[in-house]
């Protein structure tokens, strides 16, 4: 089975409600977004949990307790509980330092499920969650699906010696892929990468990430420009080098009528001391565009749609991107996207229809594609409208939850078939 023919699951099954455990060891659905380790996965887990609850399921999200002030459980919304797992110190730790605490995390899950009754199914998110979940699920005989969100092979390929992941990550990811009942891959590129690791392609269901089409929509408040520059470019997301803000700064140097807003990173009051902000400001100063590049820091979730609507073009020039939520959010708001042709962005952004795809790291191509859109308001509007249509047809959370549930039902049905043939 090739990536293009890997199962794409989409039809909802209206069967009995399920008790679901979503395990997300470092990415809490309650976290403030924009930090180094808080981004698309947090959004994904929170929204998927809510959409599954809307379909009648009982959902518990298990995430590591990273503060002494957190209660054991919190109610995220009707039908969704967040359970804070004591594993390691109750303080924030970089996710690359969490592996030693996964045994404790797994043991807690086992004991908790033995005491309260196991869920019908476990869906783990990110490789360390997969490792902990696999241990607990095997012990209790609970079906398990896994979503990687990012793969160590890709990270190591792009970051080399700068990769801070534990050396054992890739081997553990392979173990999770072989050990789980099914992989829920977010894009076709991920299926190909898993096949290179030896994980059979027919073990993967392709279910994309989603976007809240009610919050992210073309109509609504628009953030003020407050600038004399005619056009606004926006880069939104975690402020880490791989997201490509340096490429956006290099491009704006050749776009004299545009300003660039870089949203994400620490709160505004801490921008001056942030190493990545200092690095990017130095690049902007060197390029002579410091007066046209503004860092706004972390943006509250409720202000993100208005910020997106204020942009003429949204830039997503990541070196690599496992999926990429920002292009979907921009398209849902009716804004054209210029994105690097990597990872999930190759699936979500329709080149010359909803935006432009350019080679990663190609500043000339990024600049040219952006310049073309800034020069043609009609094209920007057409791309924006097409982006909105594309999101509505494929990427709403109700559709994504239905697709995910189809994977769940398939795994449960397969377990019943196997049980029936062995009795």
pLDDT classification of 215: cutoffs 50, 70, 90: very high
- The SS3 call for residue 325 is helix
- C-alpha 255/C-alpha 371 separation (Å) is 7
Q: Using a pLDDT cut of 90, give the percent of the chain over it.
A: 81
300 compared with 333, residue with greater pLDDT: 333
Q: What is the pLDDT of residue 421?
A: 60
- C-alpha 351/C-alpha 13 separation (Å) is 33
CB 33 within 8 A of CB 231: no
Q: What is the pLDDT of residue 422?
A: 54
Residues 11-31 have a mean pLDDT of 82
Q: How many CB atoms lie within 10 A of CB 240?
A: 16
Q: Are strands 293-297 and 19-23 parallel, antiparallel or unpaired?
A: unpaired
Q: How many CB atoms lie within 10 A of CB 357?
A: 22
- C-alpha 142/C-alpha 225 separation (Å) is 52
- C-alpha 258/C-alpha 233 separation (Å) is 7
Q: What is the pLDDT of residue 9?
A: 44
Residues 146-164 have a mean pLDDT of 89
Q: What is the pLDDT of residue 39?
A: 60
Q: What is the pLDDT of residue 229?
A: 72
Interval 72-90: pLDDT, tens: 999 999 999 999 999 999 9
Per-residue CA distances from 10 to 2, 57, 127, 258 (Å)? 18, 17, 25, 41
- C-alpha 331/C-alpha 61 separation (Å) is 28
pLDDT classification of 274: cutoffs 50, 70, 90: very high
Q: Are strands 80-85 and 73-77 parallel, antiparallel or unpaired?
A: antiparallel
Interval 312-351: pLDDT, tens: 999 999 998 888 889 999 999 999 999 999 999 999 999 9
* DSSP secondary structure, 133-163, as one string: HHHHHHHHT--EEEE-SS-HHHHHHHHGGG-
Supply φ then ψ for residue 65, to 5 degrees.
-75, 110
> Rounded to two decimals, what is the model's pTM?
0.85
Q: What is the pLDDT of residue 301?
A: 83
CB 81 within 8 A of CB 73: yes
Rounded (5°) CA angle 193-195-197 = 75
Q: How many CB atoms lie within 10 A of CB 214?
A: 10
pLDDT classification of 7: cutoffs 50, 70, 90: very low
Q: How many CB atoms lie within 10 A of CB 233?
A: 25
pLDDT at 192 over 60: yes
pLDDT classification of 270: cutoffs 50, 70, 90: very high
Give the domains, in start order, of the chain with CATH numbers: 3-210+397-422 (3.40.50.2000), 231-394 (3.40.50.2000)
Determine which of 7-11, 203-207, 267-271, 367-371 has the lowest per-residue pLDDT on average.
7-11
- C-alpha 165/C-alpha 147 separation (Å) is 18
Q: What is the pLDDT of residue 37?
A: 43
| Among 315, 45, 328, residue whose Cα is nearest residue 187 | 328
Q: What is the pLDDT of residue 415?
A: 79
Helix or strand (DSSP H, E) at 22: strand 19-23
CB 123 within 8 A of CB 137: no
Interval 24-70: pLDDT, tens: 999 888 865 444 445 678 889 999 999 999 999 999 999 999 999 99
Q: What is the chain's percent helix, strand, coil content, to nearest 5?
A: 45, 15, 35
Interval 377-422: pLDDT, tens: 999 999 999 999 999 999 999 999 999 999 999 999 987 766 666 5
């Amino acid at each position: 089975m090739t990536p293009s023919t890997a199962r794409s699951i989409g039809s909802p099954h209206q069967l009995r409600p399920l008790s679901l455990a979503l395990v997300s060891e470092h990415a809490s659905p309650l976290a403030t977004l924009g930090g180094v380790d808080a981004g698309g996965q947090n959004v994904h887990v929170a929204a998927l949990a809510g959409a599954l609850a809307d379909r009648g399921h009982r959902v518990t999200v298990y995430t590591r307790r990273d503060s002494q002030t957190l209660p054991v459980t919190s109610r995220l919304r009707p039908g969704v509980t967040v359970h804070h797992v004591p594993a390691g110190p109750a303080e924030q730790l970089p996710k690359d330092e969490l592996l030693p605490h996964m045994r404790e995390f797994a043991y807690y899950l086992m004991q908790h499920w033995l005491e309260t009754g196991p869920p019908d199914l476990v869906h783990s998110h990110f490789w360390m969650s997969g490792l902990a979940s696999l241990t607990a699920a095997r012990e209790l005989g609970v079906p398990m699906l896994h979503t990687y969100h990012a793969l160590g092979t890709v990270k190591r390929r792009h970051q080399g010696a700068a990769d801070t992941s534990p050396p054992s990550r890739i081997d553990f990811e392979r173990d999770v892929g072989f050990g789980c009942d099914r992989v829920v891959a977010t894009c076709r590129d991920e299926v190909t990468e898993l096949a290179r690791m030896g994980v059979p392609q027919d073990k993967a269901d392709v279910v994309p990430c989603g976007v809240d089409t009610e919050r992210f929509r073309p109509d609504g408040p628009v953030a003020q420009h407050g600038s004399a520059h005619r056009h606004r470019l926006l880069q939104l997301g975690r402020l880490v080098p791989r997201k490509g803000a340096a490429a956006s700064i290099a491009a704006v140097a050749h776009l004299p009528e545009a300003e660039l807003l870089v949203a994400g990173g620490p709160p505004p009051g801490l921008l001056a001391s942030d190493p990545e902000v200092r690095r990017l400001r130095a690049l902007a100063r060197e390029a002579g565009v410091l007066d046209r590049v503004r860092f706004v820091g972390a943006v509250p979730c409720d202000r993100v749609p208005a910020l997106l609507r204020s942009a003429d073009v949204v830039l997503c020039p990541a070196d690599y991107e496992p999926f990429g939520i920002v292009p979907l959010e921009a398209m849902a708001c009716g804004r054209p996207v210029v994105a690097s042709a990597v990872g999930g962005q190759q699936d979500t952004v329709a080149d010359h229809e909803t935006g432009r795809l350019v080679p990663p790291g190609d500043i000339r191509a990024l600049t040219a594609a952006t310049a073309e859109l800034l020069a043609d308001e009609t094209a920007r509007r057409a791309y924006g409208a097409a982006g909105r249509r594309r999101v509505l047809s494929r990427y709403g959370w109700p559709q994504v939850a239905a697709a995910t549930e189809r994977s769940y039902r398939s795994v449960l049905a397969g377990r019943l078939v196997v049980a029936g043939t062995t009795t």
